[in-house]
Structure 1
Amino acid sequence: MDLVFDALGQLFGHKFSSQWGSYDADGAWLAELSHLSRRHLELGISRLRQQVRESARSGDEAWPPQPVAFAALCEPRPEDLGLPAVAEAWREAAGHAHDPAGHRWRHEAVRLAGAAVGWWEITHVQPSRVERLERRFAREYTALINRVMAGEDLTPRQLLEHDGSRSAAELAERAGREAAAQKAEADGLPHAMNADQGLRSLRAALGRNGS
Structure 2
Amino acid sequence: MTQLFGHKWVSQEGEPGNEREGYSPNFLLWAQKTADLSDVAWKRGFDRLEFMVREAGRQGDEVWPPSYAAFLGMCEKPHGEMAHKRFKPLALPDKAAQERSRSIGSRTLSDLKSLFPDEETTAEHA
TM-score, with length taken from structure 2? 0.53
- The two structures, once aligned, show a CA RMSD in angstroms of 2.4
Partner of 1:65: helix, strand, or coil? coil
Indicate the structure with greater helix content: 1
CA distance in 1, matches of 2:72, 2:82: 16
Q: Which residue of 1 aligns with 2:2?
A: 9
Name the count of aligned residue pairs.
79
CA distance in 2, matches of 1:107, 1:31: 35
Query: Are residue 39 (structure 1) and residue 40 (structure 2) matched?
Result: yes
Structure 1 unaligned segments of length 5 or more: list them.
1-7, 84-105, 109-211
CA distance in 1, matches of 2:52, 2:82: 16
C-alpha displacement of 1:35: 1.6
Distance 1:41 1:80, change over 3 A: farther
Cα offsets for 1:52-76 (capped at 9, x unmatched):
1111111110110000000110112
Partner of 1:63: helix, strand, or coil? coil
Partner of 2:11: helix, strand, or coil? helix
Structure 2 unaligned segments of length 5 or more: list them.
17-22, 89-126
TM-score, with length taken from structure 1? 0.33
Bigger radius of gyration: 2
Partner of 2:24: helix, strand, or coil? coil
| Correspondence for 1:18 among 11, 14, 38 | 11
Distance 1:38 1:25, change over 3 A: farther
Percent identical residues? 39
Q: Which residue of 2 aligns with 1:66?
A: 67
Cα offsets for 1:26-82 (capped at 9, x unmatched):
122123212211221121111100001111111110110000000110112364744
Larger RCO (alpha carbons 8 Å, 6+ apart): 2
